Amino acid sequence: MPGARIRKQPAKGFALLPPSQEFQLRCQQIEDRIAQSLRRRSQAFIEHSIRTGELPVDGLRIVRTEHGVQVYAACRNIDEAAQREVQIDKLTAQLSVIEKLMAQPMNIKEWLHVSCRRRLHRATKAGIVKHPLMRGYLKLVSHCTSYSEALLKEGYVAMRVRRQIIGVLLREPERRVARLLVQQHHMTAFFYCWRLAHYQASKTDNAYLCRFVWPEESAYQRMIHKNQESRVLVTIHMGDFVGAMKRIAMHASPERSVITLKREQDSTALQHQFQGDIGQHHVLLHGQYDPVQIVARLRKGNHTLNILFDLCDDFGETTEVDFFGYRARFVKGPALLAIMGKARILPFVTFEQCGSSFIEMQAEIDVKPVYGERLDVACQRITQQLAKLAEAWIRRFPAQWKFLPELPKYLDSQSLNFRSQQSVRG
């Protein structure tokens, strides 16, 4: 039985490790095997299995990334040995069910889609943005992946409702939204290729970074000249945001430290991507960092926090905002860290237009609370400002936003149900 093998392995491989570290590694092994199983099937099949209750996901966080599905167990911080064994047993049982479910035979449509998706992943990992012919191949494979996904029976109804909701929010007809989603699939893969290219390049590789058109560059240089105050650079998952952050960091002093918050640890090369001495760039993962330490660093001055704010409740506590005219939830971490760290917020967005990459800076956001304003109210007010910026950027370049297919998930359930019913009646 698969679960029995996993429980016996730590006796040999992890015998010399502390109990807490052994537990973490055993969890990691099971998480990796669950992720490998899920990657064999289409997203539509996985979502259908979750809706029908066949796929046991209680206590698991499943995240879609450019690498494919990533799985994280919710209960990692357990002190008691007995509770750790209970958690391992639970994960092992889930693994057994998931492996059997994912091993079921696929129909021809799902097989075609999974095959296209694998080719797309291989193409993005090859870092092919420098070769026009390979960029054409990337576009072809990404379009095939999108169209083959549309053929899957399990996700057809959900996909159509999603298109209708996005169409209402963007004020676009459903056919236009369908084309946008196909284009978005390609742009996400294209921007990920750029990210890998940045990881492989040096800190200040002009061949990559000087391609950005940045109208406010001189004004930004004047603003930060001899300024040792901490600042928070915020943007959304749009365009080549890694390259844009790297370009902006070129103007920072060598003594300045950079803190980057990420969804997943996808490359050790990221540790040395920004201006500054070795050890000056700290990469922290959502849910695995101490916010008090970040606040303390920001208050010391001479620190820059790079953070993306277009995340919902999978990545921390949220606050209610108005988003596309409806109630939605955004993470409040960026605003809260800036307020507590007494660091001004500098929003920017990057996008592709007419074959060029642009960086567009916005006016800085003052994080000082209004007199008598509670912390939670100040946090909500600033998060609302960020949400309005995100909405404006997404309306301009919807196909370049990584989470366009997930836009309905940002709305609260009542808004989502109301809009779905209205769209169906329409």
Mean pLDDT of the chain: 81
Q: Which amino acid is at 264?
A: E
Using a 10 angstrom Cβ sphere, with 0-12 exposed, 13-18 middle and 19 or more buried, the burial of residue 53 is exposed
Least confident of 113-127, 181-195, 284-298: 284-298
Least confident of 174-183, 198-207, 271-280: 271-280
Which value, in Å, is the radius of gyration of the alpha carbons in the chain? 22
Per residue in 381-416, pLDDT tens? 999 999 999 999 999 999 999 999 989 888 876 766
Strand order in the sheet with 257-262: 212-213, 356-361, 344-353, 231-235, 303-308, 257-262, 281-285
**Which residue from 387, 362, 93 is spatially nearest to 233, judged by alpha carbons?**
362
| Of 237 and 66, more confident | 237
Q: Which amino acid is at 293?
A: Q
Between CA 338 and CA 303 the distance in angstroms is 12
4 pLDDT band, cuts 50/70/90, is very low
Per residue in 299-323, pLDDT tens? 998 888 888 999 877 677 889 999 9
283 has which bridge partners? 260
Give me the pLDDT at residue 76, please: 63
Give me the pLDDT at residue 7, please: 44
Per residue in 93-150, pLDDT tens? 999 999 999 999 988 888 988 888 888 877 777 655 666 677 777 778 887 887 787 7
pTM of the prediction?
0.77
Give me the pLDDT at residue 130, please: 62
Per residue in 224-252, pLDDT tens? 888 889 999 999 999 999 889 888 988 88
Cβ–Cβ under 8 Å, residues 145 and 113: yes
Chain centre to alpha carbon of residue 308: 8
Cβ–Cβ under 8 Å, residues 145 and 200: no
Per residue in 80-96, pLDDT tens? 777 888 888 889 999 99
Class of domain 202-418: alpha beta
| Of 119 and 280, more confident | 119
Per residue in 327-373, pLDDT tens? 998 999 899 999 999 999 999 999 999 888 999 999 999 998 888 88
Length of the chain: 426
Cβ–Cβ under 8 Å, residues 274 and 281: yes
Q: What is the three-class DSSP state of 260? A: strand
Give me the pLDDT at residue 260, please: 76
Between CA 37 and CA 47 the distance in angstroms is 14
Sole residue written with tokens 């490790």: 17
Domain residue ranges of the chain, discontinuous segments joined by +: 2-102, 108-199, 202-418
CB atoms within 10 A of CB 133: 8
Q: What is the three-class DSSP state of 369? A: coil
